[in-house]
Amino acid sequence: MIMVKPVNPILLLLLSSFITATFAARHKLVVGSFSTELIHTLEYDDVDNTLTKLTHSFVGAASSWLTLNHDKTKLYGTDWNAKEPTFVSYDVSNPHDIKVEKRIVAGTLCSNTRNVFALADQQAPYTVYGNYYYGDAKCSTVFSVDGNGTLKEVIQDYAYLPGSAVHGTAITLDGRFLVSADTKGNLVWTHAIDRDTGLLSSVSAIQGPSDGSGPRHLVTKVSSGNGQPLVYVVLEEASAVAQYAIRDDGTLYPVGDKISYPLLPAGLDPAGYWADEVALSSPGNRYLWATNRARNDSLKGYISAFRLGRDSGLIEEQLFLRETSTSGGFANSIAASPFDDEIAALTDNSTGLVQIWHVDKGVLAHLEIPDNQSCCANVVWLD
């Protein structure tokens, strides 16, 4: 006979309020800007669907790009207005008071260039990879971090090809490869990562899916079907998304039914647009978000989401392709939330705003940060 112990009703009540509380959460996110030297700290309430600005920190750098380290205590970014390409290391352990800890001028293999991107490896030794654009931008830089995660020093400078300019990188989940989107060279590169040192060695490069397609940013995932790493690439010039798989030797090959998926309605000229970002939903990796920007503020940008196959990880369906409320300016960057596959944050710097998007419901929350029209570059979610 099974004995059923009576449940204490007070305990039940406590338990149920605890469960409710875990679903009702406030999430912090930070957003940088292209010219004011502020990082804004925002809060999204996922019950009330409100997005509010909590504060801003004066950091002395216009962070056109920000990225988080593995334990979300450090941020690494660019200084858009610096005379020489400068990487900035921030402490974000107190999101109400973000502090600069280090600035490193880099890019010695390039000239008249600007740094635009950084990525922190989420596995030890937590190496940071930085990229350049504009001018002669064929180079990239590898940085070590100290025991606290603060950017330490340049450990490698390397070059791609004359005419190359890499605007974004991603690391495979197994930590073996860094893939790089070479916008001006119309290439996607693979480098092998030495897991002890973080140093890179070149493996291969594959052409974009069409002439001048302009690979810009990319994200990676593992196919749960065959365990192969997948790479989704946003093509700036072609206004589209392409997907690749990575062989064991690090070489890429296109996968899926189509060569690429459009980020622009049929009939519109890609010359008027420059697709921006691609982001993998989390925690379940069920969707791929992608965005496009208009080059002219009298036009609108676009946002799209794709459903990914549960096992294959491949794009199965484009769920929507919708206009954004503005051109997006230099941004229309999208950052998937870490807590809900259906939620992501979109930024715009033509008027200065951040929106929270839901994959089915569209805009859930909207926050204007006028900030002399220089906000908002990209969002990172702290929780």
Kind and range of the H or E run holding 225: none
Rule CB under 6 A: is residue 55 a binding residue for ligand NAG?
A: no
Rule CB under 6 A: is residue 350 a binding residue for ligand NAG?
A: yes
Angle at 46 between CA 42 and CA 50, to 5 degrees: 55
| 134-163 footprint of ligand NAG as x/- string (CB under 6 A) | ------------xxx-x-------------
Among 2, 269, 296, 360, binds ligand NAG (CB under 6 A): 296
Task: For the CB of residue 137, give the shortest distance to ligand NAG in the complex, in Å.
Answer: 16
Rule CB under 6 A: is residue 349 a binding residue for ligand NAG?
A: yes
Which residue(s) pair with 29 in the sheet?
Answer: 42, 381
Q: What is the CA radius of gyration of the chain?
A: 21
Task: For the CB of residue 249, give the shortest distance to ligand NAG in the complex, in Å.
Answer: 36
Task: For the CB of residue 325, give the shortest distance to ligand NAG in the complex, in Å.
Answer: 14
Among 27, 36, 234, 345, binds ligand NAG (CB under 6 A): 36
Kind and range of the H or E run holding 19: helix 9-23
Which residue(s) pair with 68 in the sheet?
Answer: 75
125 and 104 Cβ atoms separated by less than 8 Å: no
Rule CB under 6 A: is residue 22 a binding residue for ligand NAG?
A: no
Q: Which stretch binds ligand NAG (CB under 6 A): 11-19, 276-284, 320-328, 371-379?
A: 371-379
Rule CB under 6 A: is residue 223 a binding residue for ligand NAG?
A: no
Task: For the CB of residue 378, give the shortest distance to ligand NAG in the complex, in Å.
Answer: 12
* Closer residue to ligand NAG, CB minimum distance, 27 or 300: 300
Task: Give the CB-nearest residue to ligand NAG.
Answer: 147
DSSP string, 309-371: PTTT-SEEEEEEEEE-SS--TT---EEE-SS-TTEEEEEETTTTEEEEEETTTEEEEEEE--G
Cα–Cα distance for residue pair 238/212, rounded to 1 Å: 7
* Closer residue to ligand NAG, CB minimum distance, 74 or 138: 74
Task: For the CB of residue 144, give the shortest distance to ligand NAG in the complex, in Å.
Answer: 11
Rule CB under 6 A: is residue 373 a binding residue for ligand NAG?
A: yes
306 and 362 Cβ atoms separated by less than 8 Å: no
183 and 203 Cβ atoms separated by less than 8 Å: no
Contacting residues for 220 by C-beta, under 8 A, at least 6 apart: 170, 171, 172, 173, 179, 229, 230, 231, 232, 280
Distance of CA 171 to the CA centre of its chain: 12
Site for ligand NAG in 77-96 (CB under 6 A): 80
Q: Which stretch binds ligand NAG (CB under 6 A): 183-191, 212-220, 318-326, 369-377?
A: 369-377
* Closer residue to ligand NAG, CB minimum distance, 291 or 349: 349
Which residue in 340, 315, 201, 342 sits closest to 261, CA to CA? 315
DSSP state of 267: T
Rule CB under 6 A: is residue 330 a binding residue for ligand NAG?
A: yes
Rule CB under 6 A: is residue 34 a binding residue for ligand NAG?
A: yes
Interface positions with ligand NAG (CB under 6 A): 34-36, 80, 101, 146-148, 150, 296, 298, 329-330, 349-350, 371-374
